[in-house]
């Protein structure tokens, strides 16, 4: 499915008609922030299923709705449920949510995810601010006819993880009970976890963490000039770092354990972000 501009506009118009306000920023809730949307003040939810052209989440633990509400005085929209390549979407479809958020008028995007720690100094429960990413898996979500209304055909990735937002996240880390690192995230398509050999290769290439999301969203945001802050929660040591096999259960257990302090950290960041025009 290749979208044209009218598909994005139709989705954005529907949301605008049902939303309580134009949001200042959007936050994509990964597995580690599932309950975050429930803590918004004056929440208003819109089901993905009701939005024209929107995608439907197939991941059980993801809710599948946009939730509008205020956090620390800022107007926020949460994507409660995101879309992954492993669900069967084409890369080209994965641009849709971020482009719709851009049309809605958000001025910054916070991406959160669960990730496996490749860096052996990291521990499960630690957080990583993404400074950059590696994606060596073929196609891009921005392939196909370029929509100039969003951005140029060839676009810069040197500051995709916006330095000013990373600086805010580093400052807030000093007040948080969490251990916060800054490092490089490497994208794997999943749904299988990586092999130990892939993790050794990732480490040689310069990765500190691996995961199956976020990068497609960052690419879409970089194309349309939307500032991004991305945060990974290390839910497990990546494959082969420890003797034990990886399991979805371990990922979920750490995500649940860390949800409250991580949520407090993200709220502090939201409070301190200054948004451009
Ligand atoms: N690999 C990929 N994605 C993940 C992992 C992992 O080890 N943990 C949580 N998401």
Which class for 107: exposed (0-12), middle (13-18), buried (19 or more C-beta within 10 A)?
middle
Query: pLDDT at position 38, please?
Result: 86
**Interval between CA 116 and ligand 1 midpoint (Å):** 4
SS3 assignment for 173-190: HCCCCCCEEEEEEEECCC
Q: How confident is the model at residue 277 (pLDDT cuts 50, 70, 90)?
A: low
Q: How confident is the model at residue 208 (pLDDT cuts 50, 70, 90)?
A: very high
Query: pLDDT at position 59, please?
Result: 67
Cβ contact 48:84 at 8 Å: no
Average pLDDT value for the chain? 93
93 CB within 6 A, ligand 1 = no
Q: 50 — phi, psi (to 5°)?
A: -90, -10
141: nearest Cα among 102, 64, 85: 85
233 CB within 6 A, ligand 1 = no
Residue to probe by mutation, ligand 1, list 212, 215, 232, 256, most atoms within 8 Å of CB: 212
User: Is the pLDDT assigned to residue 126 strictly greater than 90?
Assistant: yes
Query: pLDDT at position 61, please?
Result: 60
**Strand locations in 123-172, DSSP E?**
127-134
Residue to probe by mutation, ligand 1, list 186, 235, 244, 245, most atoms within 8 Å of CB: 235
User: Is the pLDDT assigned to residue 237 strictly greater than 70?
Assistant: yes
Q: How confident is the model at residue 1 (pLDDT cuts 50, 70, 90)?
A: low
CATH number assigned to the domain covering 5-272: 3.40.50.1580
Across 98-114, average pLDDT: 97
Which is more confidently placed, 119 or 254? 119
Residue burial 243-268, b: 16+ Cβ < 10 Å; e: rest: eeebeeebbbebbeebbeebbbbbbb
Q: Tell me: the pLDDT tens digits for 50-95?
A: 999 998 877 666 678 999 999 988 999 999 989 999 999 998 899 9
CA pair distance 43, 37, nearest whole angstrom: 8
CA pair distance 10, 19, nearest whole angstrom: 14
CA pair distance 133, 156, nearest whole angstrom: 13
Domain ranges, ordered by start, for the chain? 5-272
**Interval between CA 193 and ligand 1 midpoint (Å):** 6
């Amino acid at each position: 499915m290749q979208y044209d501009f009218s598909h994005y506009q139709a989705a954005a118009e529907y949301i605008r008609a049902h939303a309580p306000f134009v949001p200042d920023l959007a936050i994509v809730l990964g597995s580690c922030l599932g309950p975050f949307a429930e803590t918004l003040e004056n929440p208003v939810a819109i089901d993905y299923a009701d939005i024209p052209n929107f995608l439907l989440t197939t991941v059980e633990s993801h809710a599948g709705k946009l939730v509008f509400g205020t956090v620390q005085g800022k107007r926020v929209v949460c994507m409660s449920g995101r879309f992954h390549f492993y669900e069967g979407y084409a890369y080209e479809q994965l641009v849709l949510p971020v482009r719709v958020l851009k049309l809605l008028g958000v001025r910054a995007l916070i991406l959160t995810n669960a990730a496996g720690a490749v860096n052996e100094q990291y521990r499960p429960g630690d957080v990583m601010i993404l400074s950059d990413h590696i994606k060596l898996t073929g196609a891009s979500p921005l392939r196909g006819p370029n929509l100039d209304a969003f951005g140029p055909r060839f676009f810069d990735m040197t500051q995709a993880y916006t330095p000013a937002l990373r600086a805010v996240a580093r400052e807030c880390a000093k007040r948080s009970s969490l251990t916060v690192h800054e490092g490089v995230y490497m994208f794997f398509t999943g749904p299988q976890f990586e092999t130990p050999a892939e993790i050794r290769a990732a480490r040689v290439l310069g990765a500190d963490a691996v995961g199956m999301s976020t990068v497609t969203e960052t690419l879409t945001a970089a194309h349309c000039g939307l500032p991004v802050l991305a945060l990974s929660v290390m839910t497990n040591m990546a494959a082969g770092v420890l003797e034990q096999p990886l399991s979805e259960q371990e990922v979920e257990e750490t995500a649940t354990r860390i949800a409250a302090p991580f949520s407090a950290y993200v709220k502090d960041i939201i409070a301190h972000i200054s948004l451009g025009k």
